[in-house]
Amino acid sequence: MTDDAQMRGQAPEVGPERGVVTVGLVATPPDQPARVAERLTRELPGLLAARVDGDVRWEVRSGWGVVAPRRDGGADALLDDVARRREGCGWDLAVCLTDLPLHAQRVPLVAHCSARRRVGVVSLPALGLGQLRAGRVAVAGLVEGLLAADGRSGRPMADEQAARMVEDVAPIRRFVDDETDDGEVGFVASRVTGRLRLVAGMVRANRPGRALLGMSKLLVGAFGTAAFSLATSSIWQMGDALDGLRLTVIMLLSLAALVGWLVVAHHLWEKPSPDTSAELARLFNLGTVITLGLAALVSYAVLFVGTVGAAALLIDASVLEQNLGHPVGLRDYLTLAWIISSMATVGGAIGSGLEDEEDVRAAAYGYHPTPRGWHDEQDEEADGR
């Protein structure tokens, strides 16, 4: 392809006549998308051969680096970046995997492709919880559609490929914006269920288990507070006097205090800015709060179970009966562990200021550290030269 053709965004000639088709997978930012891209790099050649064309050799390359994550909620600027990456690397087609929420007409955008640029983008969180499975199908569908489209005339993917994409990555629908350039086709989710799936996908991409590991010092501090509380008879009487509703409210307040302290102490709250729209900031904050909330809930459960065991081991039933003034059973030990776990969670929240900054900030949805072991193929080629 000539340089003039590249500047005009014309498509390379791909297909059986060339014998090989090179597909680039670009992960942005290099976190959850990088892990998905690494898996798809190994799986896509066989899938594309079976689904699209078995007479050509499929080469799938992955990387990141040149393409910067866009926070405007749209796909156009991101597609431009991916197109420049495709031309610079000499790929026939390119698909960007991003964990940024994208929107079109105020509904979640699942995928978008540009026949003129010969590139596409998939928003992983919009796929929900099964991002690897759905991402595999979505990328294969975009590649099939881009090959069927005539990039030089700007014609979008054919109705047959678009219908197959809608069927395979359901529930989505095809979306064509008459105001955009020819050859632009998007696939959007519904307004209500699509947003719920988007939030679930954001939490999935944020990996609550990672946040739980980052709260290890907090849990140790909470166990220390619980051990001290177990030796305080006034707390035994307090727990015995409270009913289930009050204990539930205290538990919820303690969890809210823990999450709020983590957000404030580690500056995890995303504020709207010229680069981040108010809607996107709200989604980021919602993903962060839910992630921390799930991690806090699991840590509370671990603390509760540990406190029940410690109470049964350290506090004899006769001693507890003498202090409470009535016969005791399992319910009394559970109630005691409940109030102590709530108090210890608040104490642990204060100690969470000593948590490792990197571990805690990983729970913020807008924070994307480079994953260990991930290498950009373009960087590796440059090092080889």
Which pLDDT band holds residue 155 (cuts at 50, 70, 90)?
low
d(CA 191, CA 108): 7
Total-model pTM? 0.79
284 plus 159 within the same structural domain: no
Query: Which of 384, 247, 375, 366 has its CA nearest to residue 304?
Result: 247
- Pairs from 225-231 (Cβ < 8 Å, separation ≥ 24): 225/343, 225/344, 225/347, 225/348, 226/303, 226/306, 226/307, 226/310, 226/340, 226/341, 226/343, 226/344, 227/310, 229/340, 229/343, 229/344, 230/307, 230/310, 230/311, 230/314, 230/315, 230/336, 230/340
Residue with tokens 């790099």: 41
Residue 374 domain flag: no
Query: Based on the number of CB atoms within 10 Å of its own CB, is 354 exposed (0-12), middle (13-18) or buried (19 or more)?
Result: exposed
pLDDT at 131: 83
Do residues 50 and 113 share a domain? yes
Distance CA 16, CA 20 (A): 7
pLDDT at 303: 94
Whether residues 191 and 213 share a domain: the answer is no
Burial of 148 (0-12, 13-18, 19+ CB in 10 A): middle
Q: How many residues does the chain have?
A: 385
| Dist. CA 357–CA 335, nearest whole Å | 34
Task: Work out the percent of the chain whose per-residue pLDDT is above 90.
Answer: 23
Q: What is the pLDDT of residue 177?
A: 62
Number of C-beta neighbours around residue 305 at 10 A: 12
276 in Cβ contact with 101 (< 8 Å) = no
**Is beta strand 93-98 parallel, antiparallel or unpaired with respect to 20-28?**
parallel
Segment 193-232, tens digit of pLDDT: 888 999 999 888 888 887 787 777 788 888 888 988 888 8
Local structure of residue 68 (DSSP, 8 states): P
Within 10 angstroms of residue 115's Cβ, the number of other Cβ atoms is 27
Mean pLDDT across 100-122: 87
Residue 26 lies in a domain: yes
355 and 264 within one domain: yes
Mean pLDDT of 320-340: 91
What pLDDT is recorded for position 188?
86
Last residue of a domain, one of 198, 220, 237: 198
The set of residues, in sequence order, having a beta carbon less than 8 Å from that of 113 and lying 6+ positions away, is 119, 120, 121, 142, 145, 146, 149, 156, 157, 184, 185, 186
Range of the domain at 7: 3-198
**Model confidence over 6-32: pLDDT tens digits?**
333 444 445 445 588 999 999 887 778
Six token digits for residue 120: 């596409």
Q: How many domains does the chain have?
A: 2
Q: The CATH number of the domain where 49 resides is what?
A: 3.40.390
- For residue 370, is it within any domain? no
Statement to judge: residues 74 and 137 lie in one domain: yes
